[in-house]
Protein backbone atom coordinates (compact mmCIF):
# COMPACT_ATOMS: atom_id res chain seq x y z
CA UNK A 1 0.00 0.00 0.00
CA UNK A 2 1.12 3.53 -0.77
CA UNK A 3 2.59 5.12 2.41
CA UNK A 4 1.04 8.47 1.48
CA UNK A 5 -2.42 6.94 1.56
CA UNK A 6 -1.63 5.29 4.90
CA UNK A 7 -0.47 8.57 6.40
CA UNK A 8 -3.68 10.24 5.24
CA UNK A 9 -5.82 7.48 6.75
CA UNK A 10 -4.08 6.87 10.08
CA UNK A 11 -5.30 9.29 12.77
CA UNK A 12 -2.84 11.07 15.04
CA UNK A 13 -3.21 12.66 18.45
CA UNK A 14 -3.76 16.03 16.74
CA UNK A 15 -6.98 14.69 15.17
CA UNK A 16 -8.70 14.19 18.54
CA UNK A 17 -10.54 16.82 20.55
CA UNK A 18 -12.00 18.59 17.50
CA UNK A 19 -15.36 16.78 17.21
CA UNK A 20 -18.69 18.51 17.95
CA UNK A 21 -20.56 17.44 21.08
CA UNK A 22 -23.15 15.37 19.23
CA UNK A 23 -20.43 13.37 17.47
CA UNK A 24 -18.62 12.67 20.75
CA UNK A 25 -21.93 11.57 22.29
CA UNK A 26 -22.56 9.29 19.32
CA UNK A 27 -19.15 7.66 19.69
CA UNK A 28 -19.72 7.05 23.41
CA UNK A 29 -23.13 5.54 22.67
CA UNK A 30 -21.58 3.34 19.98
CA UNK A 31 -18.95 2.00 22.43
CA UNK A 32 -21.69 1.25 24.99
CA UNK A 33 -23.83 -0.55 22.39
CA UNK A 34 -20.80 -2.60 21.36
CA UNK A 35 -20.33 -3.63 25.01
CA UNK A 36 -23.99 -4.66 25.46
CA UNK A 37 -24.16 -6.52 22.15
CA UNK A 38 -20.87 -8.22 22.97
CA UNK A 39 -22.49 -9.70 26.06
CA UNK A 40 -25.70 -10.80 24.31
CA UNK A 41 -23.93 -12.31 21.33
CA UNK A 42 -20.94 -13.53 23.35
CA UNK A 43 -23.03 -15.74 25.63
CA UNK A 44 -24.89 -17.16 22.62
CA UNK A 45 -21.63 -17.65 20.72
CA UNK A 46 -20.00 -19.46 23.64
CA UNK A 47 -22.97 -21.79 24.11
CA UNK A 48 -23.11 -22.67 20.45
CA UNK A 49 -19.36 -23.24 20.05
CA UNK A 50 -18.95 -25.26 23.27
CA UNK A 51 -22.06 -27.26 22.31
CA UNK A 52 -20.56 -28.05 18.94
CA UNK A 53 -17.26 -29.06 20.54
CA UNK A 54 -19.08 -31.32 23.01
CA UNK A 55 -21.19 -32.85 20.19
CA UNK A 56 -24.47 -31.61 21.61
CA UNK A 57 -26.89 -28.90 20.52
CA UNK A 58 -26.56 -25.38 21.81
CA UNK A 59 -29.50 -22.98 22.20
CA UNK A 60 -31.63 -23.35 19.07
CA UNK A 61 -35.25 -22.79 20.13
CA UNK A 62 -35.65 -19.11 21.05
CA UNK A 63 -35.41 -17.16 17.81
CA UNK A 64 -33.42 -18.04 14.68
CA UNK A 65 -30.39 -20.17 15.61
CA UNK A 66 -31.27 -19.52 19.27
CA UNK A 67 -30.21 -15.86 19.05
CA UNK A 68 -32.95 -14.71 21.43
CA UNK A 69 -32.01 -17.18 24.16
CA UNK A 70 -29.58 -14.76 25.83
CA UNK A 71 -32.20 -11.98 25.68
CA UNK A 72 -34.70 -14.31 27.34
CA UNK A 73 -32.16 -15.14 30.06
CA UNK A 74 -31.57 -11.42 30.67
CA UNK A 75 -35.30 -10.76 31.06
CA UNK A 76 -35.55 -13.72 33.43
CA UNK A 77 -32.70 -12.37 35.57
CA UNK A 78 -34.35 -8.95 35.71
CA UNK A 79 -37.55 -10.42 37.17
CA UNK A 80 -35.94 -12.83 39.62
CA UNK A 81 -36.06 -12.06 43.32
CA UNK A 82 -33.21 -9.84 44.49
CA UNK A 83 -31.91 -11.42 47.71
CA UNK A 84 -29.74 -9.38 50.08
CA UNK A 85 -27.67 -11.42 52.57
CA UNK A 86 -28.26 -10.52 56.19
CA UNK A 87 -24.57 -9.85 56.96
CA UNK A 88 -23.82 -7.97 53.73
CA UNK A 89 -22.53 -4.41 53.60
CA UNK A 90 -25.40 -2.93 51.58
CA UNK A 91 -23.57 -0.01 49.94
CA UNK A 92 -20.45 -1.93 48.91
CA UNK A 93 -22.57 -4.97 47.96
CA UNK A 94 -24.51 -2.80 45.50
CA UNK A 95 -21.59 -0.89 43.96
CA UNK A 96 -19.20 -3.85 43.50
CA UNK A 97 -20.72 -5.14 40.21
CA UNK A 98 -21.11 -1.55 38.97
CA UNK A 99 -17.34 -0.98 39.38
CA UNK A 100 -16.54 -4.06 37.29
CA UNK A 101 -18.90 -3.03 34.47
CA UNK A 102 -17.77 0.61 34.36
CA UNK A 103 -14.07 -0.32 34.20
CA UNK A 104 -14.65 -2.87 31.43
CA UNK A 105 -16.76 -0.50 29.29
CA UNK A 106 -14.56 2.57 29.81
CA UNK A 107 -11.49 0.75 28.48
CA UNK A 108 -13.22 0.58 25.07
CA UNK A 109 -13.01 4.36 24.76
CA UNK A 110 -9.35 4.28 23.63
CA UNK A 111 -9.69 1.37 21.20
CA UNK A 112 -9.28 2.42 17.53
CA UNK A 113 -12.12 0.79 15.54
CA UNK A 114 -11.02 2.28 12.21
CA UNK A 115 -9.19 5.08 10.36
CA UNK A 116 -10.30 8.62 9.58
CA UNK A 117 -13.82 8.67 8.09
CA UNK A 118 -16.37 11.30 7.18
CA UNK A 119 -19.53 11.42 9.35
CA UNK A 120 -22.09 13.99 8.17
CA UNK A 121 -19.32 16.05 6.64
CA UNK A 122 -17.02 15.92 9.69
CA UNK A 123 -13.64 14.24 9.29
CA UNK A 124 -13.12 12.18 12.44
CA UNK A 125 -11.30 9.02 13.60
CA UNK A 126 -13.34 5.92 14.47
CA UNK A 127 -12.25 6.12 18.11
CA UNK A 128 -13.82 7.84 21.10
CA UNK A 129 -10.56 9.39 22.27
CA UNK A 130 -6.82 8.85 22.42
CA UNK A 131 -4.02 10.13 24.63
CA UNK A 132 -0.27 9.75 24.60
CA UNK A 133 -0.48 7.06 27.33
CA UNK A 134 -3.64 5.29 26.13
CA UNK A 135 -2.16 1.83 26.73
CA UNK A 136 -1.54 2.72 30.37
CA UNK A 137 -5.19 3.83 30.60
CA UNK A 138 -6.33 0.34 29.55
CA UNK A 139 -3.93 -1.29 32.03
CA UNK A 140 -5.21 1.01 34.78
CA UNK A 141 -8.86 0.12 34.15
CA UNK A 142 -8.08 -3.59 33.97
CA UNK A 143 -6.37 -3.25 37.37
CA UNK A 144 -9.28 -1.33 38.87
CA UNK A 145 -11.80 -3.94 37.69
CA UNK A 146 -10.51 -6.37 40.32
CA UNK A 147 -11.85 -4.06 43.04
CA UNK A 148 -15.36 -4.97 41.95
CA UNK A 149 -14.62 -8.67 42.47
CA UNK A 150 -12.74 -8.23 45.75
CA UNK A 151 -15.33 -5.87 47.22
CA UNK A 152 -18.18 -8.10 46.02
CA UNK A 153 -16.64 -11.08 47.79
CA UNK A 154 -15.92 -9.12 50.96
CA UNK A 155 -19.28 -7.30 51.15
CA UNK A 156 -21.27 -10.54 50.85
CA UNK A 157 -20.42 -11.45 54.45
CA UNK A 158 -19.75 -15.08 53.55
CA UNK A 159 -16.66 -17.29 53.50
CA UNK A 160 -16.60 -18.65 49.95
CA UNK A 161 -17.16 -15.28 48.20
CA UNK A 162 -14.34 -13.82 50.31
CA UNK A 163 -11.98 -16.61 49.26
CA UNK A 164 -12.92 -16.04 45.61
CA UNK A 165 -12.23 -12.30 45.93
CA UNK A 166 -8.83 -12.91 47.54
CA UNK A 167 -7.94 -15.38 44.83
CA UNK A 168 -8.79 -12.78 42.22
CA UNK A 169 -6.51 -10.21 43.88
CA UNK A 170 -3.58 -12.66 43.98
CA UNK A 171 -4.29 -13.66 40.38
CA UNK A 172 -4.25 -10.04 39.23
CA UNK A 173 -0.93 -9.31 40.93
CA UNK A 174 0.67 -12.41 39.38
CA UNK A 175 -0.43 -11.89 35.78
CA UNK A 176 -0.48 -8.09 35.66
CA UNK A 177 3.33 -8.15 35.82
CA UNK A 178 3.59 -10.48 32.83
CA UNK A 179 1.07 -8.44 30.86
CA UNK A 180 2.92 -5.20 31.59
CA UNK A 181 6.27 -6.63 30.50
CA UNK A 182 4.72 -7.91 27.26
CA UNK A 183 3.42 -4.40 26.54
CA UNK A 184 6.93 -3.00 27.20
CA UNK A 185 8.14 -4.89 24.11
CA UNK A 186 5.46 -3.11 22.05
CA UNK A 187 6.55 0.28 23.45
CA UNK A 188 10.15 -0.42 22.53
CA UNK A 189 9.25 -1.36 18.95
CA UNK A 190 6.54 1.22 18.17
CA UNK A 191 8.09 4.11 20.09
CA UNK A 192 4.71 5.30 21.39
CA UNK A 193 2.05 4.46 23.98
CA UNK A 194 -0.83 5.83 21.93
CA UNK A 195 -3.17 3.11 20.64
CA UNK A 196 -3.68 4.87 17.31
CA UNK A 197 0.10 5.33 16.99
CA UNK A 198 0.74 1.62 17.66
CA UNK A 199 -1.79 0.65 14.98
CA UNK A 200 -0.19 3.07 12.53
CA UNK A 201 3.27 1.60 13.27
CA UNK A 202 2.00 -1.85 12.21
CA UNK A 203 0.47 -0.67 8.94
CA UNK A 204 3.48 -0.42 6.63
CA UNK A 205 4.85 -3.95 6.72
CA UNK A 206 8.35 -4.94 5.62
CA UNK A 207 10.00 -7.00 2.88
CA UNK A 208 12.17 -10.01 3.63
CA UNK A 209 14.82 -10.80 0.98
CA UNK A 210 15.57 -14.53 0.74
CA UNK A 211 17.42 -16.06 -2.21
CA UNK A 212 16.97 -12.96 -4.33
CA UNK A 213 13.19 -12.88 -3.79
CA UNK A 214 11.44 -10.07 -1.92
CA UNK A 215 8.73 -11.57 0.31
CA UNK A 216 6.28 -9.09 1.88
CA UNK A 217 5.89 -9.68 5.61
CA UNK A 218 3.28 -8.08 7.86
CA UNK A 219 4.36 -5.46 10.29
CA UNK A 220 2.16 -7.05 12.94
CA UNK A 221 3.86 -7.37 16.28
CA UNK A 222 2.35 -10.83 16.70
CA UNK A 223 4.99 -11.90 14.14
CA UNK A 224 7.86 -9.63 15.11
CA UNK A 225 7.28 -10.06 18.86
CA UNK A 226 5.93 -13.60 18.95
CA UNK A 227 7.04 -14.46 22.53
CA UNK A 228 5.45 -11.25 23.84
CA UNK A 229 2.24 -12.01 21.96
CA UNK A 230 1.95 -15.54 23.39
CA UNK A 231 2.70 -14.46 26.97
CA UNK A 232 0.41 -11.45 26.69
CA UNK A 233 -2.52 -13.59 25.57
CA UNK A 234 -1.94 -16.08 28.41
CA UNK A 235 -1.87 -13.14 30.84
CA UNK A 236 -5.17 -11.66 29.63
CA UNK A 237 -6.85 -15.06 29.99
CA UNK A 238 -5.79 -14.95 33.64
CA UNK A 239 -6.81 -11.28 33.93
CA UNK A 240 -10.35 -11.93 32.69
CA UNK A 241 -10.84 -14.97 34.98
CA UNK A 242 -11.57 -17.24 32.05
CA UNK A 243 -11.02 -21.00 31.95
CA UNK A 244 -8.62 -22.64 32.56
CA UNK A 245 -7.72 -19.75 34.91
CA UNK A 246 -11.19 -19.14 36.39
CA UNK A 247 -10.07 -19.79 39.96
CA UNK A 248 -12.03 -16.88 41.55
CA UNK A 249 -15.30 -18.61 40.60
CA UNK A 250 -14.27 -22.26 40.79
CA UNK A 251 -17.62 -24.00 41.18
CA UNK A 252 -16.07 -27.26 42.37
CA UNK A 253 -14.32 -25.51 45.28
CA UNK A 254 -16.09 -22.22 46.02
CA UNK A 255 -19.72 -22.90 44.96
CA UNK A 256 -19.65 -19.90 42.59
CA UNK A 257 -16.79 -17.88 44.01
CA UNK A 258 -17.11 -14.15 44.58
CA UNK A 259 -20.65 -14.01 43.10
CA UNK A 260 -22.18 -16.77 45.24
CA UNK A 261 -24.44 -14.39 47.19
CA UNK A 262 -25.51 -12.30 44.18
CA UNK A 263 -28.79 -12.70 42.33
CA UNK A 264 -31.07 -10.94 39.85
CA UNK A 265 -29.63 -7.87 38.06
CA UNK A 266 -26.52 -7.69 40.25
CA UNK A 267 -25.52 -11.17 39.10
CA UNK A 268 -26.29 -10.11 35.52
CA UNK A 269 -23.92 -7.14 35.93
CA UNK A 270 -21.08 -9.44 36.93
CA UNK A 271 -21.77 -11.60 33.88
CA UNK A 272 -21.88 -8.45 31.73
CA UNK A 273 -18.51 -7.30 33.07
CA UNK A 274 -16.90 -10.69 32.35
CA UNK A 275 -17.93 -10.76 28.70
CA UNK A 276 -17.20 -7.08 28.12
CA UNK A 277 -13.75 -7.57 29.65
CA UNK A 278 -13.18 -10.53 27.32
CA UNK A 279 -14.11 -8.44 24.27
CA UNK A 280 -12.11 -5.44 25.53
CA UNK A 281 -8.98 -7.51 26.06
CA UNK A 282 -9.44 -9.13 22.65
CA UNK A 283 -9.68 -5.66 21.09
CA UNK A 284 -6.60 -4.63 23.08
CA UNK A 285 -4.68 -7.63 21.73
CA UNK A 286 -5.76 -6.80 18.18
CA UNK A 287 -4.59 -3.22 18.66
CA UNK A 288 -1.20 -4.12 20.10
CA UNK A 289 -0.23 -7.22 18.13
CA UNK A 290 -2.56 -7.91 15.18
CA UNK A 291 -2.37 -4.64 13.25
CA UNK A 292 -5.55 -3.08 14.65
CA UNK A 293 -8.01 -2.22 11.92
CA UNK A 294 -5.53 -2.86 9.08
CA UNK A 295 -6.66 -5.60 6.70
CA UNK A 296 -4.77 -8.89 6.72
CA UNK A 297 -3.06 -10.33 3.67
CA UNK A 298 -4.27 -11.08 0.94
CA UNK A 299 -7.06 -8.52 1.43
CA UNK A 300 -4.36 -5.83 1.33
CA UNK A 301 -3.94 -6.55 -2.40
CA UNK A 302 -7.14 -4.54 -2.84
CA UNK A 303 -6.18 -0.87 -2.85
CA UNK A 304 -9.27 0.25 -0.91
CA UNK A 305 -9.05 -2.35 1.87
CA UNK A 306 -7.89 0.16 4.50
CA UNK A 307 -10.06 3.08 3.45
CA UNK A 308 -13.49 4.20 4.54
CA UNK A 309 -15.60 1.93 6.75
CA UNK A 310 -14.10 -1.37 5.62
CA UNK A 311 -11.37 -1.41 8.34
CA UNK A 312 -14.06 -1.68 11.03
CA UNK A 313 -15.02 -5.05 9.51
CA UNK A 314 -11.43 -6.30 9.69
CA UNK A 315 -11.12 -5.08 13.28
CA UNK A 316 -14.22 -6.86 14.55
CA UNK A 317 -13.33 -9.95 12.53
CA UNK A 318 -10.04 -10.21 14.42
CA UNK A 319 -11.82 -9.61 17.74
CA UNK A 320 -14.29 -12.43 17.02
CA UNK A 321 -11.38 -14.71 16.15
CA UNK A 322 -9.76 -14.06 19.55
CA UNK A 323 -13.09 -14.50 21.36
CA UNK A 324 -13.34 -17.88 19.65
CA UNK A 325 -9.92 -18.76 21.11
CA UNK A 326 -11.24 -17.83 24.59
CA UNK A 327 -14.21 -20.16 24.08
CA UNK A 328 -11.99 -22.85 22.60
CA UNK A 329 -9.80 -22.83 25.71
CA UNK A 330 -12.87 -23.18 27.93
CA UNK A 331 -14.20 -26.13 25.96
CA UNK A 332 -10.82 -27.89 25.82
CA UNK A 333 -8.62 -27.38 28.89
CA UNK A 334 -9.36 -28.42 32.48
CA UNK A 335 -9.06 -25.94 35.31
CA UNK A 336 -5.63 -25.66 36.90
CA UNK A 337 -5.01 -26.12 40.59
CA UNK A 338 -4.37 -22.85 42.37
CA UNK A 339 -0.75 -23.66 43.23
CA UNK A 340 -0.06 -24.70 39.61
CA UNK A 341 -1.63 -21.47 38.38
CA UNK A 342 0.46 -19.23 40.64
CA UNK A 343 3.65 -21.21 39.96
CA UNK A 344 3.12 -20.85 36.21
CA UNK A 345 2.79 -17.07 36.51
CA UNK A 346 5.76 -16.40 38.78
CA UNK A 347 8.23 -19.17 37.84
CA UNK A 348 7.60 -19.57 34.10
CA UNK A 349 6.01 -16.54 32.46
CA UNK A 350 7.81 -13.84 34.46
CA UNK A 351 11.41 -15.16 33.95
CA UNK A 352 10.78 -15.86 30.26
CA UNK A 353 9.39 -12.37 29.77
CA UNK A 354 12.38 -10.74 31.48
CA UNK A 355 14.84 -12.72 29.34
CA UNK A 356 12.93 -11.85 26.17
CA UNK A 357 12.90 -8.11 27.03
CA UNK A 358 16.68 -8.19 27.50
CA UNK A 359 17.14 -9.96 24.15
CA UNK A 360 14.86 -7.47 22.41
CA UNK A 361 16.67 -4.53 23.99
CA UNK A 362 19.96 -5.91 22.68
CA UNK A 363 18.52 -6.24 19.17
CA UNK A 364 17.14 -2.71 19.26
CA UNK A 365 20.54 -1.32 20.26
CA UNK A 366 22.07 -2.52 16.97
CA UNK A 367 20.98 0.14 14.48
CA UNK A 368 22.92 -0.99 11.39
CA UNK A 369 21.24 -4.36 11.05
CA UNK A 370 18.93 -4.94 8.14
CA UNK A 371 15.33 -5.96 8.61
CA UNK A 372 16.10 -9.49 7.39
CA UNK A 373 18.76 -9.99 10.04
CA UNK A 374 16.55 -8.64 12.79
CA UNK A 375 13.67 -10.90 11.82
CA UNK A 376 15.98 -13.90 11.63
CA UNK A 377 17.56 -13.27 15.03
CA UNK A 378 14.15 -12.55 16.54
CA UNK A 379 12.77 -15.84 15.21
CA UNK A 380 15.82 -17.76 16.47
CA UNK A 381 15.56 -16.08 19.87
CA UNK A 382 11.88 -16.92 20.13
CA UNK A 383 12.61 -20.53 19.21
CA UNK A 384 15.38 -20.80 21.80
CA UNK A 385 13.17 -19.34 24.53
CA UNK A 386 10.36 -21.78 23.71
CA UNK A 387 12.71 -24.76 23.58
CA UNK A 388 14.27 -23.85 26.92
CA UNK A 389 10.79 -23.54 28.43
CA UNK A 390 9.71 -26.93 27.07
CA UNK A 391 12.83 -28.95 27.84
CA UNK A 392 14.06 -27.29 31.04
CA UNK A 393 15.16 -30.16 33.33
CA UNK A 394 12.85 -30.62 36.26
CA UNK A 395 13.56 -32.36 39.53
CA UNK A 396 13.61 -36.12 39.21
CA UNK A 397 10.62 -37.52 40.99
CA UNK A 398 11.21 -40.24 43.55
CA UNK A 399 9.47 -43.53 42.75
CA UNK A 400 6.20 -43.88 44.55
CA UNK A 401 6.37 -46.49 47.34
CA UNK A 402 4.18 -49.52 47.08
CA UNK A 403 1.07 -49.95 49.17
CA UNK A 404 2.77 -52.46 51.46
CA UNK A 405 5.71 -50.09 52.01
CA UNK A 406 3.29 -47.30 52.86
CA UNK A 407 1.52 -49.57 55.35
CA UNK A 408 4.81 -50.64 56.98
CA UNK A 409 5.95 -47.05 57.34
CA UNK A 410 2.85 -46.05 59.30
CA UNK A 411 3.53 -45.51 63.01
CA UNK A 412 1.72 -47.69 65.50
CA UNK A 413 -1.65 -46.26 66.41
CA UNK A 414 -2.20 -44.30 63.18
CA UNK A 415 -5.44 -44.40 61.26
CA UNK A 416 -6.36 -47.93 60.12
CA UNK A 417 -5.50 -49.12 56.61
CA UNK A 418 -7.54 -51.55 54.55
CA UNK A 419 -6.10 -55.08 54.49
CA UNK A 420 -3.73 -55.90 51.67
CA UNK A 421 -5.74 -58.94 50.56
CA UNK A 422 -8.94 -56.88 50.41
CA UNK A 423 -10.61 -59.20 52.96
CA UNK A 424 -12.80 -57.32 55.39
CA UNK A 425 -11.83 -58.34 58.94
CA UNK A 426 -14.50 -58.89 61.61
CA UNK A 427 -15.35 -55.86 63.64
CA UNK A 428 -13.90 -55.52 67.18
CA UNK A 429 -17.42 -55.65 68.59
CA UNK A 430 -17.98 -59.07 67.01
CA UNK A 431 -14.71 -60.34 68.51
CA UNK A 432 -15.72 -59.08 71.97
CA UNK A 433 -19.16 -60.69 71.82
CA UNK A 434 -17.68 -64.04 70.72
CA UNK A 435 -15.09 -63.90 73.53
CA UNK A 436 -17.80 -63.20 76.11
CA UNK A 437 -19.93 -66.09 74.92
CA UNK A 438 -17.15 -68.68 74.84
CA UNK A 439 -16.89 -69.11 78.70
CA UNK A 440 -20.65 -69.42 78.95
CA UNK A 441 -20.69 -72.04 76.22
CA UNK A 442 -17.87 -73.96 77.96
CA UNK A 443 -19.71 -73.89 81.31
CA UNK A 444 -22.93 -75.00 79.67
CA UNK A 445 -21.14 -77.86 78.00
CA UNK A 446 -19.59 -79.06 81.28
CA UNK A 447 -22.98 -78.92 83.04
CA UNK A 448 -24.57 -80.98 80.32
CA UNK A 449 -21.80 -83.53 80.54
CA UNK A 450 -22.27 -83.76 84.31
CA UNK A 451 -25.98 -84.38 83.84
Lowest mean pLDDT: which of 83-87, 202-206, 262-266, 423-427?
Answer: 423-427
pLDDT tens figures, 278-290: 999 999 999 999 9
pLDDT digits (tens, 9 = 90+) for 388-406: 766 666 666 677 777 667 6
Provide the whole-model pTM: 0.77
What's the rounded Cα separation, in Å, for the pair 165 and 162?
5
Confidence of residue 333 (pLDDT cuts 50, 70, 90): confident
Confidence of residue 264 (pLDDT cuts 50, 70, 90): confident
Which segment of 4-8, 128-132, 167-171 scores lowest on mean pLDDT? 4-8
**100 confidence band (pLDDT: 50, 70, 90):** confident
How would DSSP label each residue in 375-436? HHHHHHHHHHHHHHHHHPPPPPPPPPPPHHHHHHHSPTTS-----TT-PPPPPHHHHHHHHH
What is the per-residue pLDDT across 178-230, written as a single tens digit (0 to 9) for each?
898 999 989 888 888 999 989 988 875 544 444 444 444 557 888 888 889 99
Neighbours of 124 (CB within 10 A): 20
Contact 296, 252 (CB under 8 A): no
State how far the Cα of 28 lies from the Cα of 7, in Å rounded to an integer.
26
Taking Cα atoms as reference points, which of 342, 344, 340, 299 lies closest to residue 318? 299
Residue 335 DSSP one-character state: P
Domain ranges of the chain: 3-391
Q: What is the pLDDT of residue 282?
A: 93
Res. 424: pLDDT tops 90: no
pLDDT at 80: 85
CA distances from 75 to 30, 80, 142, 264 (A): 23, 9, 28, 10
Higher pLDDT, 439 or 269: 269
Distance CA 362, CA 88 (A): 54
Tell me how far CA of residue 3 lies from CA of 114, 158, 204, in angstroms: 17, 59, 7
DSSP 144-176: HHHHHHHHHHHHTT-HHHHHHHHHHHHHHHHHH
CA-nearest of 226, 234, 220, 235 to 190 is 220
Lowest mean pLDDT among 161-170, 247-256, 265-274, 323-332: 247-256
Predicted confidence at residue 411, as pLDDT, reads: 60
Q: How many angstroms separate the CA atoms of 140 and 183, rounded?
A: 13
Amino acid sequence: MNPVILAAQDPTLADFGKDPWWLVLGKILFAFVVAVLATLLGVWFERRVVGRMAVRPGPNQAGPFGLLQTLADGVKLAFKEDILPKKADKVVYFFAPVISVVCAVTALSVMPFGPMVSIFGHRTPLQVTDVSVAVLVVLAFSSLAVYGIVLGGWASGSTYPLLGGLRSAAQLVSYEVTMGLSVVAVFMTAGTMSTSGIVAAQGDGTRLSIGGFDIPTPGWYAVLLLPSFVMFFIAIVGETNRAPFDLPEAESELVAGFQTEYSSLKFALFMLSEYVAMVTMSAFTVTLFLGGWHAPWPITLWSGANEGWWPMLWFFGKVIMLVFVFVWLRGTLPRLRYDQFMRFGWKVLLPLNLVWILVLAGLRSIEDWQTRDRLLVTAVGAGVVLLVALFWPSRKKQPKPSLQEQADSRPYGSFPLPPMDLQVPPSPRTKRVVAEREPANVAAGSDSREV
